[in-house]
Structure 1
Amino acid sequence: MSVRKDIRRINEKEDDLGVLTLYLNTDASNPDLNSGEWKIHLKNEIKEMKNYADNTAQEDEKKALKKLLKRIEDRVGELQMELQKGLMITASADEQLWEEKILQVPVTTTLHWEKIPATGQLQAMVQKYPKAAVIVLQQMDARFIETELGSIIDELTFSWDLNREDWLDYSSGASVGSRGSNQDHFERRFDENKNRWYKNLAPRLGKEIKDRGLEGAYLVGSNELVPDLEEHMHEGHLLGVLTKNIGMKPNHEIVNEIYQDLI
Structure 2
Amino acid sequence: MDIKKVLNQLEHYQTESPNRIFTMYLNTDPSDQDQQGGEWKIHLKNGLNNFETYLQDDSSEEKRNFWAVKEKVENYIEENRQDLKKSVVIFATGEGDVWFADRLQMPVKTEFYWEDEPKLDQLKQLHETFPKTGIVLTQKEHIKIIDAALGSLNDTVFYELDLDTEDWKQHQGPHQAGSNLGSGGAKSSKKDELDDRFDENRSRWYKSIAPKLDKLAKEREWEQIYMIGESDEVDELEANMNKPVTGKINKNLLDHEEMSILNEVMDQ
1:193-217 deviations in whole A, cap 9, x for unaligned?
3344334333332232123322231
Q: Distance in 2 between matches of 1:250 and 1:24?
A: 27
- Match of residue 188 from structure 1: 196
- Match of residue 212 from structure 1: 220
- Is the Cα–Cα contact under 8 Å of residues 147 and 156 in structure 2 kept in the other structure? yes
1:67-102 deviations in whole A, cap 9, x for unaligned?
534553454234221211111122213344333112
The DSSP-based 3-state class of the residue aligned with 2:24 is: strand
Match among 238, 241, 246 for residue 248 of structure 2: 241
- Match of residue 21 from structure 2: 19
Alignment of 1:125-144 (within 5 A): 125-144=126-145
1:149-190 deviations in whole A, cap 9, x for unaligned?
22333332221222223322226xxxxxx9534443212211
Unmatched tracts of structure 1, length 5 or more? 172-177
Check 1:229–1:91 CA distance in 2 against 1; reply closer, same or farther (3 A cut). Answer: same
**Alpha-carbon distance, 1:218 to partner:** 0.9
- Is the Cα–Cα contact under 8 Å of residues 13 and 97 in structure 1 kept in the other structure? no
> Percent identical across equivalent pairs?
33
Check 1:245–1:13 CA distance in 2 against 1; reply closer, same or farther (3 A cut). Answer: same
- Match of residue 2 from structure 2: 2
- Match of residue 38 from structure 2: 36
Check 1:13–1:183 CA distance in 2 against 1; reply closer, same or farther (3 A cut). Answer: farther
- Match of residue 185 from structure 2: none
- Match of residue 200 from structure 1: 208
TM-score by length of 2: 0.79
Aligned residues: 253
1:204-256 deviations in whole A, cap 9, x for unaligned?
3223212332223111124453333234444x521211222221122233122
**Alpha-carbon distance, 1:62 to partner:** 4.2
Alignment of 1:146-185 (within 5 A): 146-170=147-171, 180-181=181-182, 182-185=190-193
RMSD: 2.9
- Match of residue 175 from structure 2: none
1:21-64 deviations in whole A, cap 9, x for unaligned?
1111112233332432222332343344344334x745543454
Q: Distance in 1 between matches of 2:167 and 2:67?
A: 62
Q: Distance in 1 between matches of 2:68 and 2:218?
A: 45
**Alpha-carbon distance, 1:105 to partner:** 1.9
Q: Point out the more displaced range, 125-134 or 8-17.
A: 8-17
Unmatched tracts of structure 2, length 5 or more? 173-178, 183-189
Q: Distance in 1 between matches of 2:161 and 2:210?
A: 13
Q: Distance in 1 between matches of 2:161 and 2:71?
A: 55
Tell me which stretches of 4 or more aligned residues in structure 1 moved more than 6 Å: none
Which residue type is aligned with residue 195 of structure 2?
E
Q: Point out the more displaced range, 236-245 or 42-51.
A: 42-51
Which residue type is aligned with residue 81 of structure 1?
Q
Check 1:75–1:164 CA distance in 2 against 1; reply closer, same or farther (3 A cut). Answer: closer
- Is the Cα–Cα contact under 8 Å of residues 93 and 99 in structure 2 kept in the other structure? yes
